[in-house]
Structure 1
Amino acid sequence: MNSVEILKEEILKAQKNGDIASLYVLERRAHEVFDEDTLGSYYANILDLALERLTDTLESHRAMDMEEVQDFATLRALYEYAIENYSAGKISDASALFEVLSGLSNSNEFSDALKIHALASEKDISLDNFIDNIADLDATSEAGTFYISCFKTKEAQKLLENSQIDGE
Structure 2
Amino acid sequence: MQSNEFEDLKNNPQFMLELGQKEEAAVKAKDIVGMYEVLDTAVMLDLSAERLDRIYTEILQTVFDRLADKLTKEQFFDINDQRDLYTMRGIYEHGIERYSDNDFKGAKEIFLILHHTANDETLSKAMMPHIAAAASQMKFDDFIDELVDVENPNDSETYGFFLTNFKPSVEGFMKEKAEALESALKELETLKSEK
Question: TM-score, normalization: structure 2?
Answer: 0.79
Pairs aligned (count): 167
Contact (CA 8 Å) 1:20, 1:74: kept in 2 or not? yes
Opposite residue 172 of structure 2, the aligned amino acid is K
Q: How does 1:37-116 map to 2 (within 5 A)?
A: 37-116=50-129
Mapping for residues 17-28 of structure 1, pairs under 5 Å: 17-28=29-40
CA distance in 2, matches of 1:54, 1:33: 29
Q: State the identity %.
A: 25
Counterpart CA distance in 2 for 1:166 and 1:48 is: 30
Task: Please say if 1:145 is aligned against 2:160.
Answer: yes
User: 2:175 aligned with 1:161, yes or no?
Assistant: yes
CA distance in 1: counterparts of 2:104 and 2:86, whole angstroms: 23
- Name the CA distance, whole Å, in 1 between partners of 2:78 and 2:47: 32
- C-alpha distance in 2, partners of 1:166/1:67? 31
Distance in 1 between the 2:77 and 2:179 partners? 31
Compare 66-75 and 156-165 and name the one that shifted more.
156-165
Q: Output the CA distance in 2 between the equivalents of 1:52 and 1:166.
A: 29
The 4+ residue runs of structure 1 with deviation greater than 4 A are 141-144
Structure 1 residues 145 and 3, CA gap change in structure 2 (3 angstroms):
closer
In structure 2, what is the equivalent of residue 4 of structure 1? 16
Aligned to 2:149: 136
The separation in 2 between residues aligned to 1:167 and 1:2, in whole angstroms, is: 52
Q: What stretches of structure 1 of length at least 5 have no aligned partner? A: none
- Post-superposition Cα deviations, 1:3-38, rounded to whole Å, max 9, x if no partner, equal 323211111111111111111222233232631111
Segments of structure 2 that go 5 or more residues without pairing to the other structure are: 1-12, 183-195
Q: Summarize the Cα distance change of 1:110–1:141 in structure 2 as closer, same or farther, 3 Å threshold.
A: closer
Question: Paired residue for 2:26?
Answer: 14
Q: Which has the larger radius of gyration?
A: 2
Cα offset for 1:92? 1.2
The CA deviation at 1:107 is: 0.6
